[in-house]
Structure 1
């Protein structure tokens, strides 16, 4: 699998509605929406990462754990820059009290810390209430609604590094990133904020058009 760190630029910005020109967002690969595991290496990785935690007792759950370690290894290659920042993972749609709470992002960062103990990450933000996952809902919450459901834990901000990386698995519209950035800036206005995503969502253009016979 070949991944490389890329930046959202003027060619890709319009694909992510909530991002502005001054947002710095990075990603490793492209996830094609509504396609399966076999469509691409990135789809395989993302879909394995998102395996439901209720399937922990199933043989295929090992692929989720393997995906977590793969992503941690990707991140560790950029220790000269990324690992000098503080990572703040985007909380999952379900609260910690929910049996389907998925801590895959925390697990990735814990694996990173095993590789490089200088890694710094903080659960600065958690959710007050469980929300329906955006990819499972036809009515996605706005970034304002997401921000209002976020709880900021200020005691975890002591000695935080000057650059914060908002870390998430997939960038779609950018609403979670925007909500996280808004809340963090309200409490820590002087930090630089960067978004880092395992993949950004793309659409299969061929599927968006009818086949025309000539």
Structure 2
């Protein structure tokens, strides 16, 4: 729970207060539904933890369970994933000037593209952005790269 609070606080601290009031945070849905033992509600908890005046909503839900992308080698296709998701038909809060999709990792961008496409089709006048939370920090592959040694 501490990590969830820390991430929500970091998001809150790094956005302008006036932007928070007009932003709707939407978690990218877990690959498992709420009744599955591997269901992961952390992205929703982070979105809700950002707090007022920001708002959070589960606008996209999975239709059934599916294999997590990081657990299989199947090709990732946003069009196929879109068929496994359902977008809300509810109107957005009137102050929603932008939607920020939140996910815990970006590998290929498939989930983000699928969710962004669904939201843009349902709410065409509201821009959709992505925010991705890293669970761990990987070594920088360019740390030893010296720009002065690069060929021109």
Give the TM-score, by structure 1 length: 0.59
Residue segments in structure 2 that go unaligned for 5+ positions in a row: 143-152
- What is the 5 A alignment of 1:109-120? 109-113=47-51, 117-120=52-55
- What is the 5 A alignment of 1:104-183? 104-113=42-51, 117-155=52-90, 157-159=92-94, 161-183=96-118
Counterpart of 2:131 in structure 1 is 196
Of 64, 67, 90, which residue of structure 1 is paired with 2:28?
A: 90
Are the equivalent residues in 1 in contact too, given 2:120–2:127 (CA < 8 A)? no
What is the number of residues matched between the two proteins?
A: 139
Counterpart of 1:16 in structure 2 is none
Counterpart of 1:99 in structure 2 is 37
Over 3 Å off, 4+ runs: 199-206
Distance 1:155 1:192 in 2: 17
SS in 1 for 2:104: strand
Q: Specify which structure has the bigger relative contact order, considering alpha-carbon pairs within 8 angstroms and separated by 6 or more residues.
A: 1
The 1:94/1:160 distance shift into structure 2, 3 A limit, reads: farther
Of 181, 187, 198, which residue of structure 1 is paired with 2:122?
A: 187
Distance 2:139 2:84 in 1: 29
Q: Give the aligned CA root-mean-square deviation in angstroms.
A: 2.3
More helix by share: 1
Residue segments in structure 1 that go unaligned for 5+ positions in a row: 1-64, 207-214
SS in 2 for 1:135: helix
Shift of 1:182: 0.8
Shift of 1:159: 2.5
Distance 2:67 2:139 in 1: 22
SS in 2 for 1:195: strand
Distance 1:177 1:98 in 2: 22
SS in 1 for 2:6: helix
SS in 2 for 1:88: strand
